[in-house]
Amino acid sequence: MTALVVRLDNAGDVLLAGPAIRAVAARCGPVTLLAGPQGAAAGRLLPGVGDVVVYDAPWSGFVPPAFDGPATDALVRRLAEGRFTDAVILTSFHQSPLPAALLLRMAGIERVAGISVDHPGSLLDVRLRGDPDLPEPERALALAAAAGFPQPPGDDGRLAVRRPLPDITALAGDGPYVIVHPGASVRSRRWPAERCAETVGVLAARGLRPVVTGGPDERALTTLVAGRIGTDLGGRTDWPSLAAVFAGADAVITGNTGPAHLAAAVGAPVVSLFSPVVPAERWAPYGVPHVLLGDQRAACRDTRARDCPVPGHPCLMSVTAADAADAVEKLIAETAS
């Protein structure tokens, strides 16, 4: 038995698929993960993943690419060469597994499972309608179990990454610290940079050492947020080293973005600046102590908007720097007790 797990979209979506991937791997051995270009690096961190195949799907992502016939033909050939007996297609509630299922059928995969509210015809052998309000890891685990891959004994179902992680002492320095991660791929989910910078100052004033993280394209943002007070790691970490930096933190302050799930995967407490454009019950930090900040009843609720549809971004602007620092201190006290 050889298995393929499909989880396209961004890094956070891939990290949330981790418990289901482990369930499949417990019966089949290391699985091949079919991921999008934004999720591949996170996929390589997951226990149970033996190989990652990258495909930029024209039905997925914030800015889907044009259909690429040669790339799609190459994918089908690559999957056919894998001789997979089983495939599990993991999707969020608003997505269909059927485009991927068609390609898997073309590759000759014998048994395909997915969650679909649409009639799947002969594309799916195992079809769930799914509960859209389950947390994403539990929804994925439910599909894996229906496909014959139950949660293995002794697996707590939480997010996880491969260990050991890199030594990041030279990056993060000595002594306790708190992460401020200001970026997010979707503008509606970002706490304003000025508010993040205020938080760095408040943390420092309370004796908490702030460390600011971000990707290579966020260096201007992290420089602004860190100022002269925080340690600026913008553009200085890849996914494994970022995981290690998060693992060493007393707490991580971040929005609803992939790094929030990376923090959860290494067991770090999370202060989540959560814009309610998607439901927190599905995408809040999973399996770790966390504090949810932001008006979850705001007018933008459940809109899935990428740009805030309400002037002034009130769902997150209602949160002050002091609120975030208070939440950090609350989590530190709880985890120390």
CATH number 3.40.50.2000 given to 3-146: yes
Strand order in the sheet with 49-54: 49-54, 31-35, 3-6, 86-89, 111-115, 126-128
Average pLDDT for the chain: 95
* 200-219: average pLDDT: 97
Contact 193, 179 (CB under 8 A): no
CA dihedral sign of residues 201, 195, 276, 182: negative
Confidence (pLDDT) at 302: 82
Confidence (pLDDT) at 142: 97
pLDDT tens-digit readout, 265-295: 999 999 999 998 889 999 999 999 999 999 8
Q: Do domains 3-146 and 169-336 have the same CATH topology?
A: yes
* H or E segment and range at residue 252: strand 251-255
C-alpha span between 313 and 316 (Å, rounded): 6
Confidence (pLDDT) at 97: 97
pLDDT at 134 over 90: yes
pLDDT at 324 over 80: yes
Fold classification of 169-336 (topology level): Rossmann fold (3.40.50)
> Where in the chain are the domains?
3-146, 169-336
CB atoms within 10 A of CB 108: 12
CA dihedral sign of residues 162, 168, 171, 172: positive
- Strand 231-232 and strand 210-212: the pairing is parallel
Cα pseudo-dihedral 267, 272, 276, 280, rounded to 10: 30
pLDDT at 325 over 90: yes
